[in-house]
A and B are shown apart, each in its own frame.
Chain A
Amino acid sequence: MINEEELLKIENIKRKYPDSKAALMPVLYFFQEKYGFISDDSIKEISQLLKISEVDIKGVVSFYEMFHEKPKGKYIVQVCTNISCMLCNSENILKAVEKKLGIKCGETTKDNLFTLEEVECLGSCGTAPVISINNRYYENMTEEKINSLFDNLK
């Protein structure tokens, strides 16, 4: 359940739009940041807060790559493999990350620390290859940089 202070935050989000339904995406981000994912309980709560049916909310959540209905690792590690990164060695970067974390793309480490994903162009092609960790970019990656990057995170 959300508390009064959080309710106030949500009211402030709603004020940006003439129709409170439009607050759905920012409110989804709000719940995802709080709980780590969008649970069925959260969907029920959001449904009451914004007067949107649960089915409609699910339709929105499932459409977007960045909303997830199941918990992921503490760090979501995304390796871009689109063409500008591909031309700059992203395949080997991905392999090196897989080796470092001991998991394949789409998997989460046993300690729930890392989830690894292959993603589309991150809009950082001029500093390819690029890795994003919890939406912070690590640009001009090299295989050598990977070890220290992950050791510093733990």
Chain B
Amino acid sequence: MWLLVLPALAINVAIILIPALLTFLAAFSAWDGIGTPSWAGLANFLALIDDPIFWSSLTNNLIWTAIFLTVPVLIALVMAALMLAFPAARTPLQVIYFMPRIFAAAITGRVFQGMIYSPATGILGWLNAHGFALADPLADPDRSLFAVAGVDIWHWWGFLAVVFLAAMRQVSVDQIEAARVDGAGFTALLRHVLLPGIRPTLTLMLILTVIWSFTVFDFIYIITRGGPAYGSEVLSTLAYRHAFFENDVGQAAAAAIVMSLFGLCATFAYLRIQSREEGA
């Protein structure tokens, strides 16, 4: 039995546990990433607490989480229910909705930056030239996070819709038909039949969304690099900046640990819900 588990365990220890432990140790050290590390105690965490950029980054992560727990989830639920209701359109719509997910983040990011938001080469520029005074949201520290979130939502909601549709197709047809016979409309069907029917999938996706929201990096780094004026900085871009631009691996590791704590909380919540459901 143990022999069967061994290969997977060895891989996990080598590529997850050991790097995680080293990161944990790095958070308590002063290290420029190339010289010899020295013990720093809690200095890296205290420096983070004193840094207003850390707090604004954490706030941005929370805003990002709130956005992704609602906007793409709602769009995906409605679209999945509609696809369920219209089987003829289901296959082509699934392909179309899923397509943004297969594009590399770098390509999607650059397309939105250059062909949509850019005042020189994008749709926004064209609208400006035709009498609509619209500023580039990526250039505004108060709106840049939301502008990047818009790109990621475009890339993400279709995937959620396909996952939710797959779950909805497991809901008993008899139950759906009975609701319809009883006069349930689209909203009532979604609320009282489909949502309870896909609750385990929905819970899993929401918990994963929390975890992913605290590790979000790619779109933000590609499109705004956390700017302007740290307006779209999140914990992962903060950690990256500390590690690779400021050569302060200790601070980067401390930020990464804070990031991981939120993921850990979400994981524990999921495990707890799962064990409760299994016990029921």
Q: Do A and B come from one complex?
A: no
Interface residues of B (CB under 8 A from A): none
